[in-house]
A and B are shown apart, each in its own frame.
Chain A
Amino acid sequence: MDFQARTTPDAIEARLSGRLEFTDHDRLRDLLDLLNGPGARRFVADLSGLDFIDSAGLGMLLILHEECESRGIALVVRGPRNEVRRSIDLARIGEVLTIEY
């Protein structure tokens, strides 16, 4: 998985691409580092460029959610497509975090 981050006055936006899977745990740490920037109220994880997510990848979204919550940041998972959307829907993680389709 690769991501590009962009910061706006009140939000951090990370555009993920490629495959989010078991081997990406180190990349997760890089994503979490973004949360330590000053003043962000919202974190947008844009999945529209993501091609695949496995259960470990879903776990990373849940960890991201937890880390955001502990810092008072609202996480929005945006735009999952195709296989990624199917996996997210199957696991019903929309019951736990906010997903914008």
Chain B
Amino acid sequence: MAPPLAGSRVLIVDAEESSRVMLAGLVVRAGVDAIAFAGDGEEGLRKVLRFRPDLVLLDVRMPRMDGLEMCRRLRRDLGEATLPVLFQTPADGDADPAHCFEAGGSDVIAKPIRPGECIARVRHHLEKRALFEELSSFRRRVEAELTQARTLQLSLVPERRHLEAAGARYGLAIESHFETSSELGGDLWTLRPLDDTRIAVMIADFTGHGVTAALNTVRLHTLIDRIPLDAGDPAGWMMALNAALKATLPVGQFATAFLGIIDVAAGTLTGVGAGSPNPALWLPDGSVRLLESSGLLLGVSRKASYVSRTVALPPGAALFLYSDALIECGGPAGIGQQAVPLLVGAAMAGAPGRPLHHVLDRVFGGRPRPLADDLTAVWITRL
């Protein structure tokens, strides 16, 4: 579908008064009524700045500054990279059309001008520009909206000051990383203080990435806020969360998740898995084990039930949670789950102050960005 050209503007640059009048007649017949004129290249450049044309119809041979030079300056000095410039080439064959293209011309029409051809080409270039403008403005709008949405998404995951506050309250050192594979991602992680000795941490990863997955993270965040988390029954909470998600998610969309409740008085971690990668637990004796995290994906079946498991989390121990991007996107074919305990051990030995940074550097250092999937990782060490 051709966009209407009524709002388009054409600048005619030609030394001959008679040519200008003839060309203007054709441009009007093409459907354009905003027309400006210039008699040479210098005037032409000034008019481009003032009149803001959508197309320049340009003669080659003119006094003071010829068409080729005007076109070069238009592209180079005025930064008009996409403004269509339609050259008329002289009939005597003196100016090679190749020179017009070299100078930055978009197209050429040979003199003597054939009205039908001229009208068709003017229309063609204006329509192309209108479509281009439309796409550009659509793109700018979507980009602006995505930027806003990204800010909103980032506000869903805990900020550094939250980590510090929770760390101070419960005697924890918390490091986190949140990286999306496009403007928006399908990962979420959150911290929820429960009482003076217990805090919950949850990581979730929705299928896919991009806008749909991001909307799902907002949905999940709302549900987490709305369903009171009973520290005594985390598996029951996961079931309630699952049922609420199942009620709203289309088939084929779901999340993997792991919920952990850290009890600093009892020195325990109670975990409930819903198919997330196995979290790693580092103990002060230097041993590392992967925690059970199997469980039906959240939002798949109303009947899903979950199991909580409690392990010791003594002072000095560390818990490492991560989305599957860690094991699937590192290296050419993914590093695999089995590599995680080794990475965790090496991080605690090599950089106990910044273990998460150490792990991510080992796995993703030098990897091209963006990654193929969203990457979230959280490291919690009991002090």
Contacts and interface: CB of A to CB of B under 8 A. Distances in A.
B208 interface: yes
A90 B278 CA distance: 9
A96 B208 contact: no
A92 B328 contact: no
Contacts of A90: 275, 277-278, 293-294
B294 A62 contact: no
Contact of A54 (B251, B254, B303, B324): B324
Contacts of B278: 90
Interface string A73-96: 000000000010010011111011
B296 A55 contact: no
B207 A56 contact: yes
Contact of B208 (A22, A89, A92): A22
A62 B251 contact: yes
A90 B337 CA distance: 12
Residue of A22, A55, A93, A95 with most partner-chain B CB within 10 A? A55
Contacts of B300: 62, 93, 96
B304 to A, nearest CB: 7
Contacts of B272: none
B14 interface: no
A99 interface: no
B220 to A, nearest CB: 15
Interface string B144-172: 00000000000000000000000000000
B190 interface: no
A96 B288 CA distance: 32
Contacts of B294: 89-92
A60 B252 contact: yes
A5 interface: no
Interface in B308-363: 324, 328, 336-337
Of A83, A92, A93, A95, the most chain B CB neighbours within 10 A belong to A92
Contact of B324 (A55, A63, A66, A89): A55
A28 B376 CA distance: 28
A55 B256 contact: yes
Interface string B272-298: 000101100000000000000111110
A59 interface: yes
Contact of B296 (A54, A56, A59, A96): A96
A56 B213 CA distance: 11
Given A62-B252, A95-B304, A96-B301, A55 B295 contact: no
Contacts of A95: 296, 301, 303-304
A17 B277 CA distance: 24
A95 B293 CA distance: 15
B154 to A, nearest CB: 22
A33 B295 CA distance: 31
A63 B297 CA distance: 14
B207 A59 contact: yes
Contacts of A91: 256, 275, 294, 296-297
A58 interface: yes
A28 to B, nearest CB: 9
B375 to A, nearest CB: 14
A55 B301 contact: no
B263 interface: no
B268 interface: no
Contacts of B207: 55-56, 58-59
A95 B251 CA distance: 16
20 contacts: A54-B328, A55-B205, A55-B256, A55-B324, A56-B207, A59-B207, A59-B253, A60-B252, A63-B251, A66-B251, A83-B336, A90-B277, A91-B256, A91-B294, A92-B297, A93-B296, A93-B297, A95-B301, A95-B304, A96-B296
Question: Which 3 A-B residue pairs are closest in the complex by CB-CB distance?
Answer: A91-B275, A63-B252, A92-B296
Given A83-B336, A90-B277, A91-B296, 9 more contacts: A55-B207, A56-B208, A59-B208, A59-B252, A62-B254, A66-B251, A90-B275, A91-B275, A93-B296
Interface of B: 205, 207-208, 251-254, 256, 275, 277-278, 293-297, 300-301, 303-304, 324, 328, 336-337, 373
